[in-house]
Copies of this chain bind each other. A is one copy, B any other.
Amino acid sequence: MQTTPTEQTLVIDHLRFERNNITLLDQIHSTVNAGELLQVRGANGCGKSTLLRLLAGYLEPHDGAIFWQNKSITEQRECYQQNIHYVGHRNGIKSTLTVAENLKLQCALSNIRFEPTNAQAVLKKMGLQHITDKHAAHLSAGQLRRLALARLALTPNKIWILDEPTTALDTEGQTVLNELLTQHLTHGGIAIVATHQDLDKSHPTKMLHLGAANA
The answer to whether A44 touches B146 (Cβ under 8 A) is: yes
Tell yes or no: A164 within 8 A of B by CB.
yes
Which residue, of A47, A89, A127, A170, has the highest number of chain B Cβ atoms within 10 A? A170
For A139, the chain B residues whose CB sits under 8 A away are 45
Tell me if A108 is interfacial: C-beta within 8 Å of chain B: no
Residue A196 lies at the interface, judged by CB distance under 8 Å to chain B: yes
- Copies of this protein in the assembly total 2
Q: From A47, which residue of chain B is reached at the shortest CB distance?
A: B140
> Using Cβ atoms and an 8 Å threshold, which residues of chain B touch A182?
none
Residues B134 and A44 in contact, CB atoms below 8 Å apart? no
Which of chain B's residues has its CB closest to A164's CB? B168
Per the 8 Å Cβ criterion, residues 93-148 of A in contact with B are 127, 130-131, 134, 138-143, 145-146
Of residues 55 to 104 in A, which have CB atoms within 8 Å of B's CB atoms? 89
| Closest-CB distance, A173 to chain B (whole angstroms) | 6
Contact surface of A with B, Cβ cutoff 8 Å: 19-20, 42-45, 47-49, 89, 127, 130-131, 134, 138-143, 145-146, 164, 167-173, 196-197, 213, 215
A-B contact pairs, 16 of them (CB 8 A): A43-B142, A44-B127, A44-B140, A44-B145, A44-B168, A44-B169, A44-B170, A44-B172, A45-B131, A45-B140, A131-B213, A134-B215, A140-B213, A164-B168, A167-B167, A168-B196
